[in-house]
């Protein structure tokens, strides 16, 4: 019991002392901290930039390449007007359709496209939330529509991502060469589900259970 008393009393007294006698030194009027390490990886005059992946190698490693075509040589690239109509016809009207690339391959912040524009872009993107509250992204690349269940893929990130397509061929866009790649992805990189037509009705039917069991 004596220990309780000792500890209690000394603790209380310590608190009193500490609370009443707490002190700090006078202010450092002009603090100079020597502990900050300068880094040499980036300097004021050296602008950092990120290198680009070797896309050809990437697709060689992960797919069978069907064809590669420069954007300017493709006849399938849609104008903003055509893309808007495509998304509308498929029932994807709830979210803006955006693009980030010019026809020359320049990257910009995502810009909402307008139905009156005849400007062409290599890739368009929109989103769709189906009746199960699952978020999908809808992509149109070189005029080909594809969809990817974002929520599902994140939740099942230990498996290869699911992609819904109207063909076994997937179209990709390489901005570093401003080219389209048509490929058949390896099963180890992508789980391609093929349906005759991608539209809102289809995506509504593709619940988590369906995607898992398909």
Partner 1 sequence: MRKKRQLLKAFLPVLIIILLLNVFPITSFADDNADQSGIIVSMGDSYSSGEGVEPFYGEDEDISERVKNADWLAHRSEQAWSGQLTLPGVGVLNNYRYGSKDVTDPKWYFVASSGAKVDDLFGKQNKPYSRSGYYGKKYLPAQIDVFDILEDTPEYITLSIGGNDADFGGIIKEAICTTYFTPCRLSDKLNDVWNEFYMVGGIREKLINAYETLDRKTDSRSTIIVVGYPQLLNSEGGLLGIFSAEEAAMINDSVTIFNQAIEMIVDECRTTKNINIVFVSVEEAFRGHGAYSSNPYIREIVPLPQSQDLFDHPSDKQFVSAYSLHPNEKGIEAYRQCVQNKIDELEAVRGTRSAENTNVPNDATEAFIDFLRDGYEGADDYYNDLPIHFDKQNNSNGDIWMTYAIDDFDSDGQKELIIYKSFFEREYTTDVLHGLFFYKYKNNSVELVHYAYFLEEMVLNPGFLIFYDNGQVYMENELKSLTVFVFNEKIRQKFKLNEGDRIIYSVNNYDDMSIRRSVGGAYAYDTSEVISNESYQEETDFLFSGTMLDTTMHPVNKAELW
Residue 99, CB-side half-sphere exposure with 13 Å CA sphere? 27
User: Taking the complex as a whole, how short is the minimal distance between the CB of residue 138 and partner 1, in angstroms?
Assistant: 10
| Cα angle 91-179-175, degrees, rounded to a multiple of 5 | 85
Q: Is 214 in the site for partner 1 (CB under 8 A)?
A: no
Q: Is 6 in the site for partner 1 (CB under 8 A)?
A: yes
Comparing CB distances to partner 1, the nearer of 118 and 187 is: 187
Cβ atoms of residues 211 and 182 within 8 Å: no
Q: Is 107 in the site for partner 1 (CB under 8 A)?
A: yes
The correct pick among 91, 132, 161, 204 for binding partner 1 (CB under 8 A) is: 161
Q: Which 84-103 residues touch partner 1, going by CB under 8 A?
A: 95-96, 100
The correct pick among 47, 187, 196, 197 for binding partner 1 (CB under 8 A) is: 47
Of the candidates 170, 169, 162, 138, the residue with the CA atom closest to the CA atom of residue 214: 162
User: Taking the complex as a whole, how short is the minimal distance between the CB of residue 210 and partner 1, in angstroms?
Assistant: 17
Of the candidates 200, 203, 125, 190, the residue with the CA atom closest to the CA atom of residue 163: 190
Q: Is 174 in the site for partner 1 (CB under 8 A)?
A: yes
A 10 A CB-CB count for 101 gives 19
Only one of the segments 64-72, 78-86, 150-158, 202-210 lies at the binding site for partner 1 (rule: CB under 8 A); that segment is: 150-158
Q: Which residue has the tokens 């992204």?
A: 137
């Amino acid at each position: 019991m004596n220990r309780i008393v000792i500890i209690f009393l000394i603790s209380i007294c310590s608190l009193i002392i500490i609370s009443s006698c707490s002190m700090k030194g006078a202010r450092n009027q002009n603090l100079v901290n020597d502990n900050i390490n300068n880094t040499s990886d980036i300097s004021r005059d050296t602008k950092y930039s990120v290198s680009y992946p070797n896309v050809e190698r990437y697709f060689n490693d992960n797919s069978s390449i069907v064809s590669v075509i420069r954007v300017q040589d493709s006849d399938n690239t849609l104008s903003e007007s055509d893309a808007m109509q495509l998304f509308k016809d498929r029932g994807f009207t709830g979210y803006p359709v955006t693009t980030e690339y010019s026809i020359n391959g320049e990257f910009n912040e995502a810009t909402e496209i307008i139905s009156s524009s005849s400007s062409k872009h290599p890739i368009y993107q929109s989103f769709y939330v189906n009746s199960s509250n699952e978020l999908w992204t809808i992509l149109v690349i070189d005029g080909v529509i594809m969809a990817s269940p974002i929520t599902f893929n994140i939740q099942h990130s230990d498996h290869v991502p699911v992609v819904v397509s109207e063909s076994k061929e997937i179209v990709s866009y390489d901005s570093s060469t401003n080219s389209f790649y048509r490929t058949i992805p390896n099963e180890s990189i992508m789980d391609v589900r093929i349906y005759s037509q991608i539209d809102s009705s289809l995506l509504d039917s593709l619940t988590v259970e369906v995607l898992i069991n398909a």
